[in-house]
């Protein structure tokens, strides 16, 4: 029988159960999704979809590295501020008929 003092001396400092590990994984996953959605939604609302995607691509590794919202939110808010400062594009999106007309023009119909 090993004495309790020896067991405590050789016990890992941050011994966690499997349930706690899964909780950390689920929490970081949710934090990553929420943080990446912030620049995506801001970019889609302002018409800068590419900038929103770039912001999400920078936010995902920072948030998923284990920092969660503490690392992901500042990066997401930085890109959201950049998107908000950019002027909104003044050209409207094409309608379905206009897209079909462009495709026919490109293909030579």
Say if residues 95 and 108 touch (Cβ distance below 8 Å): no
| Helices H / strands E in the chain, number of each | 5, 0
Q: Tens digit of pLDDT for each residue in 45-83?
A: 988 889 999 999 999 999 988 788 888 999 999 999 999
For position 24, what pLDDT does the model report?
Answer: 86
Q: Domain map of the chain by residue range? A: 23-86
DSSP annotation of 10 reads S
Q: Is 98 helix (H, G, I), strand (E, B) or coil?
A: helix
User: pLDDT digits over 1-40, tens only?
Assistant: 556 666 556 656 555 677 778 888 898 999 999 999 999 9
Q: Which of 36, 28, 83 is nearest to 59 (CA)?
A: 36
| Whether pTM exceeds 0.95 | no
Among the residue ranges 67-71, 84-88, 89-93, the one predicted with the least confidence is: 89-93
Predicted confidence at residue 51, as pLDDT, reads 92
Q: Which residue matches tokens 């293909």?
A: 107
Rg of the chain on CA atoms, in Å: 24
Alpha carbons 17 and 21: distance in angstroms, whole number? 6
């Amino acid at each position: 029988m090993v004495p309790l003092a020896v067991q405590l001396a050789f016990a890992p400092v941050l011994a966690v159960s499997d349930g706690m590990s899964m909780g950390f994984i689920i929490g970081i996953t949710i934090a990553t999704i929420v943080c990446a959605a912030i620049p995506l939604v801001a970019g889609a609302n302002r018409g800068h979809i590419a900038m929103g995607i770039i912001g999400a691509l920078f936010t995902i590794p920072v948030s998923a590295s284990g920092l969660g919202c503490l690392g992901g939110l500042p990066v997401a808010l930085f890109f959201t501020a950049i998107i908000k400062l950019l002027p909104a594009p003044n050209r409207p999106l094409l309608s379905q008929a206009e897209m079909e007309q462009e495709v026919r023009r490109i293909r030579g119909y």
